[in-house]
Amino acid sequence: MAAADIAQNGLGAAYNGTYASKILLEPMFHSDDIMRNYTIYPNVKYKQNILMAPSLKSITALNSGCVANTCVGTQFTVTQKTITVENVSVKQTQCWDEFKSEVIVESYKNGINMPDLSGTELAQVIIDRVRNGISNDMIRNMWAGMAAGAGIPAAADCTYTSMGAGLWDLLAADANFAGANKLDVVTGTVANGALSVAAYQTVGGTINVADVALILDKAFASAPSELQQVSASEKRMFVTPNIYNAYYASLTLVANTGAVDYGHSEAQAGKSRLYFRGIEVIAMYEWDDALTARTGADLPAIFTVTDTAAAAVNSKQGVIYAAKANILIGTNVTAPENELKMFYDEVGENMLIRSYFTMGFQYGWTNLIYGVTLTA
């Protein structure tokens, strides 16, 4: 489950100034632990080639003596996927003077050293904010990133182009993905009539509790057999927040009727994670931001699907179901958010924050990642 990383008192509980106060930092909503849900390839400076050997079958036969077997089955082959990384940097400048009218000046140093925030509690607050920002950028670009080039809207610059093409655009180029380059479609049939257009064409649209079972079941049952055979603990269902909320509501409904399915009861009992058929369901809050920003011609192609009237519609919600080992992150460091330095520039009397790393994304086997959406 995504968590709100909220620092209620950025200067620490022990901070007591003349005007003792809390600094309520903006909640930074970011998805669950990166290392737990994806596969990291460290030390990638330019490209990482991933060698892939498919499983073999139908290679055994009754022994025919000294002659070759008539059954040879599939042959051993090796294919290749490539993670291409981009050089990424963070260059932030923080002026000490911006806080002079705030109560936090009490954490400043004295005299000539006042502009130097090094070693102060405020410096740590700034570093933590930048670290969270790097994590958020990484998750957002991993899914919704756009390859730099013609056609990138000004609004997407920096926000969606700093790390190259993300998984949405990579999957859209794969004719074997789900519904042939797009999310597969399940048609909504709800108890109270037709599915509202607003439910699937609006970011944050309300998904009926009756429909959420349709979409999660569709993802589970229609996925390639290779994905179905992966252990539940090694898979994830990444979903838009409205689907997550509808699923949580459905579990609450089941619990209130007394018909608790023990496969779901851990989540219903207030644990921090939800599961569907033993597979962890993760709310991707960054997806809502991306589907709001990337509209019109820039809407990720996998979300442009066909409804029951054979009309093209732009869905704004969906599920991507994958083996976590199949979602690949390439970088030249283990944890980019920790590759930070902050130092004082005596000439400009500013604090400078710098970070440099590489970042790129890829998926492995097409039959180990699947996606669905819901339309009327």
Residue 49 lies in a domain: no
Is 242 in contact with 315 (CB distance < 8 Å)?
no
Within a domain: 14: no
Distance CA 95, CA 84 (A): 36
pLDDT of residue 281: 93
* Domain containing residue 218: 84-375
- What's residue 127's pLDDT? 86
Closest CA to 346 of 118, 116, 124: 116
Q: Is 121 among the domain residues?
A: yes
Residue 98 resides in a domain: yes
CB atoms within 10 A of CB 275: 19
Cα dist from 180 to 166, 171, 257, whole Å: 18, 9, 40
Within a domain: residue 275? Answer: yes
Task: Report residues of the chain scoring pLDDT below 70.
Answer: 1-33, 53, 72-74, 76, 100-106, 149-157, 187-199, 254-272, 307-311, 335-338, 376
Instruction: Tell whether 287 is covered by a domain.
Output: yes
Domains: count for the chain: 1
Q: What predicted TM-score, i.e. pTM, was given to this entire model?
A: 0.81
Is residue 12 domain-resident? no
46 falls within a domain: no
